[in-house]
Each structure stands twice: as C-alpha cells, then as structure tokens.
C-alpha cells in the first residue's frame, strides 16, 4: 500500500510555487496569532499588510437596505430565484455585463467606453490573470513584470501555467517609473536566458507603489510591446482607488490615441475586490480587444464563473447610476482623507512615502532606519516592526523590489482610531530608534573604538537619522538564497 504523503501527487502539488512560504504571508500569520482588536486586544498586531478597501462599505449596506429586490433571498426579490439559480451560461447575465461595462467607463471619467460583449468572467482577479496567461503563453514562455510588483503574481501567473516571470527593475532614483532602458534590459535578460517573452503585465494603478502611469510613459510602453510584438496585460483593479490627480490614464484611453497600436495585443484585468471592497464575491473580469482571446477566455471562464446570485445583485446595484456616481465620489474622498492622515502622521516623525495618488496603501521609505542597506537589514527591521511595534507591514523584498528598505503599508482596511494607534506606535518606535542612534554616537565618540561606517544609503540622508554600526552578518536570509 504505497501512496505515502505527497509522493504520489503531481509536481505542481509538491512544488513551492503556491508561494505561501513567502514573507508576505509570514506577517499575516503573526497577525492571525495575535490580532489587534480595539476593545479585546489593544496590544495585538495591527493588520497593515492586507490591501482591502473597507472605508465605503456602509454606502453599499445602505443601498442594500433600500433595495431589497436586488437579493434573491428577500421577499421582494425571491421571484427571480428560479431563473437566476438556473443560469449558468458562461456569457454571463447580460445586465451584469452591461453594468460592469458602464462602471468601467465611469471609473475612467467617460474617457473610454467598454463593450459588454468583450467582458468575460473569472474567479476574482486571481482567476482572471491566470486565465490570460493560459490564453497568451505556453509553458516555459515568459512574461515581463515591472517590479516592485504584487507578490501573488508569482503564484497566480506561474503556478499552474508554467509561465516564467522576468522582472523589469524599477528604481527609486526616478520614483520607480518604468523606463525604456529597464524594459530593454529585461527583454534582453530574458533572451539571454532563452526565455520566449510573450507579453508584459503591469498593474496600473500600481501595487505596491500607489502611483498611476503618466501618458508619456504609457505611450512608450505601448510602443515597446508593439515593436516586440508581445501582449500587454493591464491589471486595472485599483482604477477606482485614484483619490487625487493626476487622473488615471487607462490603457483603454491610450490606444485611442495611438494609431499604430495592434489592439489584438491589449487585454485588461478588472475586479470589484478593491474598488468596491467586495473581495468575498469573487468578481474577476477579463476584457480583451482581441476577439480570439475573448472567445477562448469565455470558454475557459467555465472554470471560474461568478455566482449568478452575485451577478444578479451587482447588475442591480451597478445599474443604479446615481448610486455608482455617489459611491465613486465618496470613496475617493474617504481614501484621500485616510491617506493624508496616515502620511502626515508619518511625516511628523520624519518618515517619507513615495508620493502617490491611488491605491489602498503607501510605499513607505524606511531606508534611513535600516541598520544595513541590505535585504537582511530589511528583514531585521521588518521583524522588529512585527514583533515590537506590532504592525504587519509588507517588506519590499516580497514585492521583488531591488532596493532594500521599502515597505508597503495598507491604510484603507481600518478605522481612524486604529490608524491613530498605529501612528502612535510608529512614533514611539522612531523616537526610540533615534535615541539608540544618539547613544551609539555618544559611545563611539567617547570610546574611540574603530570608525563609524556609514551605509551607502544613509549617506543620502540627514546624518541625524541613523548611522550604521558594524555588526555581525546574520545568516543569509532564505529570500536572498532564493534570488541567487
């Protein structure tokens, strides 16, 4: 009777490509073990590693109360139950597709319009991105991904598809903007490694940066993919989280302005998990300008259709144009306020964030706090933040950032009281770190021991911040090991 443990399972099942051993998830575990609660556990870990939009859910709750007919479980809506429960057509409910197309147009301020016939359902953005990989690339092919990028791309784009990811390194020196050189470098790296690049996937607005691409950069990108004849997948799941100018420039707008763009190369991933705060409903959308891709994707959507109950509910809600306008406006205002509150609080203790106009998080620059400008230094700092400061933030290395010291911190999944507590903890931590640095400085002055070595990064900053002291190198972090 052989079958032991995982010995008789596929390579897929026994590999680590599910990605859950990443540090991105370690922080979640720390939170799960000791979750903050305003009354029951005020000393617990505050979850700032989960990119969720919880700020405007009561708007939806109010709408539901006023519109019981949108649910097939209410007396007002149950008459629709039979037809809805029976509806499994992978084209999706026409009203649902129409409503999503309209929403996407509204989110882009009417600067683009969407054809409901090109809307294909998927199991959340997770399912949508994977589906597109299956359609566009063979096992072993490559997709370029600008980094820093969403950690779960490693699983979503690669695990079952066998596609390889080649990162396009973006640098802090130009605010992590995509450049032609970085694209060419990445493409060349892929070529040298014998990887056949089939496309590029980019999140716009960016996760984790919280920035939107400017027109010039976008046009450069579209020209690049056209020249190389590779696909462009635009993950626009944060499109309605733009809370301040500049306005989002969607790929749907750009292609209208570019004659020589081959539209068969252009595909969009959308979802309601971030914009509307409904991750539980698993609403993923694939939108392609390529007819063959739409056709193939639709057939593949059988593996991740959206529950007809949910399609029906959303068709009702999203067809209420007045509500949608109100929601989009209020949500942006709430996000702006929460963002500003958080970034101001950080500024007060001298912590800078990348300037951003979108997203549910900020890209925080903690390079000045690193004892060493290395990924080990970043890991050490991260562990301290989790265990001492008790905040789950996400280390930049888990986003494949090539410079240590950056952290993504989510702000839209908590109320203001909790945020103030988080800021207070950060303040305390920074003050303590500064004190320690001052102590070290004093010590070194009086004891005349060796010389102060400055890390290269701290040379860029005000020296009152932090000074690196010589210390023992910790054992190589598993993340670094994996990278080399």
219 CB burial (10 A radius; 0-12, 13-18, 19+):
middle
Complex with another protein: residue 265 or 437, whichever CB lies closer = 265
Q: Which of residues 12-31 bind another protein (CB under 8 A)?
A: 12-13, 18, 20
Q: Phi and psi for 96 in degrees, rounded to 5? A: -70, -45
Distance, in Å, from the CA atom of 241 to the CA atom of 360, rounded to the nearest integer, reads 7
Q: Which of residues 133-152 bind another protein (CB under 8 A)?
A: 134-139, 141
Complex with another protein: residue 141 or 378, whichever CB lies closer = 141
Q: Which of residues 327-386 bind another protein (CB under 8 A)?
A: none
From the list 281, 363, 407, 411, which residue makes contact with another protein (rule: CB under 8 A)? 281
Question: If binding is defined by CB under 8 A, does position 65 make contact with another protein?
Answer: yes
Question: If binding is defined by CB under 8 A, does position 8 make contact with another protein?
Answer: yes
- Least gap, CB of 43 to another protein (angstroms): 24
**Catalytic positions:** 150, 235, 237, 274
Question: If binding is defined by CB under 8 A, does position 35 make contact with another protein?
Answer: no
**Which residue stretch of 5-13, 175-183, 325-333, 424-432 sits at the interface with another protein (rule: CB under 8 A)?**
5-13
- Least gap, CB of 287 to another protein (angstroms): 16
- Least gap, CB of 239 to another protein (angstroms): 19
Residue with tokens 């054809």: 115
Q: Phi and psi for 336 in degrees, rounded to 5? A: -60, -45
- Least gap, CB of 80 to another protein (angstroms): 11
Distance, in Å, from the CA atom of 432 to the CA atom of 120, rounded to the nearest integer, reads 52
Residue with tokens 């319009």: 113
**Which residue stretch of 36-44, 70-78, 248-256, 456-464 sits at the interface with another protein (rule: CB under 8 A)?**
70-78
Distance, in Å, from the CA atom of 402 to the CA atom of 173, rounded to the nearest integer, reads 12
**Which residue stretch of 123-131, 350-358, 368-376, 434-442 sits at the interface with another protein (rule: CB under 8 A)?**
123-131
Q: Which of residues 218-257 bind another protein (CB under 8 A)?
A: 229-231
Complex with another protein: residue 217 or 309, whichever CB lies closer = 309
Distance, in Å, from the CA atom of 324 to the CA atom of 327, rounded to the nearest integer, reads 5
**Which residue stretch of 99-107, 108-116, 155-163, 427-435 sits at the interface with another protein (rule: CB under 8 A)?**
155-163
Question: If binding is defined by CB under 8 A, does position 306 make contact with another protein?
Answer: yes
Question: If binding is defined by CB under 8 A, does position 201 make contact with another protein?
Answer: no
Residue 467 Cα distances to 22, 206, 441, 458, angstroms: 30, 32, 8, 7
From the list 51, 98, 126, 338, which residue makes contact with another protein (rule: CB under 8 A)? 126
Cis peptide before 213 (omega within 30 of 0): no
Question: If binding is defined by CB under 8 A, does position 64 make contact with another protein?
Answer: yes
């Amino acid at each position: 009777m052989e079958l032991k443990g995982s010995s008789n399972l596929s390579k897929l099942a026994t590999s680590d490509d599910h990605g859950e051993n990443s540090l991105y998830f370690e922080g979640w575990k720390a939170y799960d073990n000791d979750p903050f609660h305003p009354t029951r556990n005020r000393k617990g870990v505050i979850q700032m590693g989960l990119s969720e939009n919880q700020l405007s859910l009561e708007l939806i709750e109010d709408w539901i109360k006023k519109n019981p007919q949108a649910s097939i479980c209410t007396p007002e809506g149950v008459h629709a139950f039979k037809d809805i429960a029976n509806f499994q057509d992978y084209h999706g409910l026409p009203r649902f597709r129409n409503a999503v197309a309209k929403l996407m147009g509204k989110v882009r301020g009417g600067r683009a319009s969407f054809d409901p016939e090109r809307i294909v359902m998927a199991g959340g953005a997770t399912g949508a991105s994977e589906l597109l990989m299956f359609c566009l690339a063979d096992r072993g092919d490559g997709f370029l991904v600008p980094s820093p990028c969403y950690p779960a791309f490693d699983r979503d784009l690669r695990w079952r598809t066998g596609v390889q990811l080649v990162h396009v390194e973006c640098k802090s020196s130009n605010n992590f903007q995509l450049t032609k050189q970085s694209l060419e470098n990445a493409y060349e790296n892929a070529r040298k490694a014998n990887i056949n690049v089939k496309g590029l996937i980019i999140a716009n607005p960016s996760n984790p940066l919280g920035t939107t691409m400017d027109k010039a950069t976008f046009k450069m990108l579209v020209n690049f993919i056209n020249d190389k004849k590779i696909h462009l997948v635009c993950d626009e799941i944060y499109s309605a989280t733009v809370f301040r100018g500049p306005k989002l420039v969607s790929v749907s707008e750009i292609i209208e302005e570019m004659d020589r763009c081959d539209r068969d190369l252009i595909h969009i991933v959308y979802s309601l998990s971030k914009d509307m705060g409904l991750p539980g409903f698993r609403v993923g959308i694939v939108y392609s300008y390529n007819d063959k891709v739409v056709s193939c994707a639709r057939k593949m959507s059988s593996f991740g259709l959206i529950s007809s109950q949910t399609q029906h509910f959303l068709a009702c809600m999203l067809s209420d144009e007045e509500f949608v306008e109100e929601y989009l406006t209020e949500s942006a205002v709430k996000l702006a306020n929460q963002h500003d509150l958080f970034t101001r609080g950080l500024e007060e203790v001298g912590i800078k964030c990348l300037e951003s106009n979108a997203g549910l998080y900020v890209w925080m620059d903690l390079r000045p706090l690193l004892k060493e400008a290395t990924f080990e230094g970043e890991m050490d700092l991260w562990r301290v933040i989790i265990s001492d400061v008790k905040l789950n933030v996400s280390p930049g290395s888990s986003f494949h950032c090539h410079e240590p010291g950056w952290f993504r911190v989510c702000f839209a999944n908590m109320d203001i009281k909790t945020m103030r507590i988080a800021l207070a903890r950060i303040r305390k931590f920074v003050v303590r770190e500064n004190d320690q640095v001052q102590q070290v400085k004093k010590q070194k002055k009086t004891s005349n021991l060796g010389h102060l070595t400055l890390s290269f990064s701290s040379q860029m900053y005000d020296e009152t911040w932090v000074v690196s002291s010589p210390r023992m190198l910790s054992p190589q972090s598993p993340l670094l090991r994996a990278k080399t």
